[in-house]
Structure 1
Amino acid sequence: MATEAQGAEEGGLVFHPMDQFIVKPLFGGENIGLFTPTNVTLWMALAVVAIFALLVLGTRGRAMVPSRAQSVAELAYGFVYKMVEDVAGKDAVGFFPYIMTLFMFIVSANFLGLIPMSFTTTSHFAVTVVLALAVFLTVTVVGFVKNGTKFLALFWVSSAPLPLRPILAIIELISYFVRPVSHSIRLAGNVMAGHAVIKVFAGFAAISVISPVSVLAITAMYGLEILVAFIQAYVFTILTCVYLKDALHPAH
C-alpha cells in the first residue's frame, strides 16, 4: 500500500482492476448488514426489470408481425426450449420455466455488467454459488423423487469390470458433489477475469505513448466479453440440462 501511495504522489501509474468488484452500500456508510441495499442488490434488481420488460412488456401485443422486443423474446424462448428438449429429453420440458429463468437472469446480468460504471453481479461467487446450489439441490431432489433408490445407479458404472466399480463409484460420488463448485466458479471466474483485463488495459490508456494500442485492446476485449457474456450463460444452462438428464435417467 505504501508503494502504491508513493507511486501516486510521484505521478506514476496506479490502478486497481479489482476495485470494480467491491460491494458497497447504496446509501453510504461502510457497514453492510443482512438487509443493507448494495450495488449488487441494485444491479440484480435491474436484471429482473430487464427480463420483465423483454418477456412480459415486449410480448404483450402478441403481434403476427413481431416487434424487435417480441422477436428477441421468442428467439430466447425457442433457443432455451430446444436446448432443454434436446439435452434433457421431452420429459424435462416441465422444468423449462426454471431453466429459462436461470438463462435469462444470467445473460441479463452479464450484459448489464458490460455497461460502463455498472456492476457485474455474476462476477461474485456469492451469487453464482447460490444459483449452482439451487440447481444441485433441485436435481438431487428430482432424482430421488422420480427414481427412488434407483437414482444411486448414477454412481454405479455397470459397464466397467466388477473390481473397478467400487473405485469408480467413489470417483463418481466425489464428482457429483463437486458439481456446484465447478458450476459456480466457471461462471464467476470467466466473467471476473474478462472485466479485470479490460480495467488493466484502461489503466494503460492514460499513457500517451501506448494509448492507441490500449484503446484497440479494450475494444477487442469488449467485443470478446460480449461473446463471453452469452457463452457463459449458455454453458451454465446447458450443464443444468445435463444434470437434469442424469436425475431423470440415472441409468443412461
Structure 2
Amino acid sequence: MATEATGSESSLTFHPMDQFMVTPLFGDGAVHWYTITNATLWMALAVLAIIALLVFGTRGRAIVPSKAQSVGELMYGFVYKMVEDISGKEGLKYFPYIMTLFSFIVFANMLGLVPMSFTPTTHIAVTGVLAMLVFVGVTVLGFVKNGAGFLHLFWITSAPLPLRPVLAVIELISYFVRPVSHSIRLAGNVMAGHAVIKVFAGFAAIALVSPVSVLAITAMYGLELLVAFVQAYVFTILTCVYLKDALHPHH
C-alpha cells in the first residue's frame, strides 16, 4: 500500500519552472556561449516568423491585401503611430529599430504559447539585453544630440530651487534603474502566466478537479494571448518615452 501511495504521489509531481530551463538542442552537455539551445531555436523561429509576415507576406503590395499583408500593415501602422505620437516627427528616424523590437517581442511571446515550446522573453538574459540596448542607445543619442544639455533631464526647473538637487539625485537613480525595470517587467509577467498554466496542467491529472483545471487553462491561455501583446506594447511604448527624453531632455 505504501508503495502504491508513493507511486501515486510521484505521478502527480510537476515542476512549473522546468519549462524555463535552457538546455542544449543537441546532446546533454554543458551550455556555453556558443551552444545552440532551445532558446536559440525559438528566437530564430521568431525572426523567421517576422520575415515571413513582413517580407514575404507583404511583398505583393496588393491593392486588396491578403490576410498576411493586412496583419503586416496593421502592425506597421500601429508602431509608426506610437512612435510619432510619443517621440514626435524626429523620433521617426528610429522607427525601424523600434519596429524590430516590438516585432521580436510579440512574436517570441506568441510562439511561446505553442505547446512544448520555449519562451525566450521569460529570461532576463534576453530581456536584459534588449533593455540595455535601449538604455545605452538613448543615452548616447541624448549626449550626441544635446551635448551637456542632456543633463537637463535630471534638473527639474519647475521645482523650487532648494529641492532641485534632491530631485536631481532621485531622477539620476531612477534613470539608471530603467533597464532593470524595463527588463524585469517583461520577463516577470510572461513567466508568471506560463507558470500558472503549468500549475493548472499539473492538477488536470487529478480526475476530481480536471474539468475545472481544463477550464482554467483555457481561460489562462486567452489571458496570455492578451499579455503577450500588451507586454510587447508596454516595452515598446517605454522605449518611445525614453527616446523622447533623449531628443527633448528639457523638463
d(CA) in 2 for partners of 1:8, 1:185: 41
Tell me what 1:169 maps to: 168
Q: Supply the RMSD in Å over aligned alpha carbons.
A: 1.2
Deviations 1:35-58 (A, max 9, x none): 110000000000000000000000
Counterpart-to-counterpart distance in 2, 1:81 and 1:15? 43
1:34 is displaced (CA, Å) by: 1.5
What corresponds to 1:11 in structure 2?
A: 8
Moved more, 66-75 or 27-36: 27-36
**Which residue in the other structure is 2:53 paired with?**
54
8 Å contact kept, 1:155–1:173: yes
Report the equivalent of 2:101.
Answer: 102
Q: Which residue of 1 aligns with 2:228?
A: 229
Native 8 Å contact 1:7 1:14 kept in 2: no
Matched to 2:103, the amino acid is M
Match of 1:3 in 2: none
* 2:48 aligned partner, one-letter code: V
- Name the CA distance, whole Å, in 1 between partners of 2:216 and 2:119: 20
Q: Which residue in the other structure is 1:111 paired with?
A: 110
Q: Once the 2 structures are TM-superposed, how far is the Cα of residue 10 of structure 1 from its aligned partner?
A: 3.1
Q: Which residue of 2 aligns with 1:209?
A: 208
Indicate conservation of the 8 Å contact 1:129/1:181, yes or no: yes
Shift of 1:8: 8.5
Separation (CA, whole Å) in 2 of partners of 1:8 and 1:100: 54
TM-score normalised over the length of structure 2: 0.97
Aligned length: 247
Tell me the amino acid that sits aligned with residue 70 of structure 2.
Answer: S
C-alpha change, 1:247 and 1:206, in structure 2 (3 Å) is: same
Give the letter aligned to residue 29 of structure 2.
E
Unpaired runs of at least 5, structure 2: none
Deviation at 1:9, TM superposition (A): 3.6
- Please name the residue that 2:237 is paired with: 238
> In 2, Cα distance between the equivalents of 1:209 and 1:127?
39
TM-score, scaled to structure 1: 0.96
Structure 1's 7 and 17: CA in aligned 2 closer, same or farther, altered over 3 A?
farther
SS in 1 for 2:16: coil
Matched residue, 2:125: 126
Equivalent residue for 1:178? Answer: 177
- Extract structure 1 runs of 4+ deviating beyond 6 A: none
Offset, 1:7: 10
The verdict on how the C-alpha distance between 1:8 and 1:235 changes in structure 2, with shifts beyond 3 A counting, is: farther
Q: Please give the alpha-carbon distance, in whole angstroms, between the structure 2 residues aligned to 1:204 and 1:85.
A: 47
Q: Distance in 2 between matches of 1:123 and 1:9?
A: 33
Cα distance in 2 for partners of 1:33, 1:127 equals 15
- Structure 1 residues 10, 143: closer, same or farther in 2, change over 3 A? same
Q: What CA deviation, in whole Å up to 9, does each residue of 1:10-37 have, x standing for no partner?
A: 3112100000000000001231111110
- 2:82 match: 83
Q: Which amino acid aligns with 1:161?
A: P
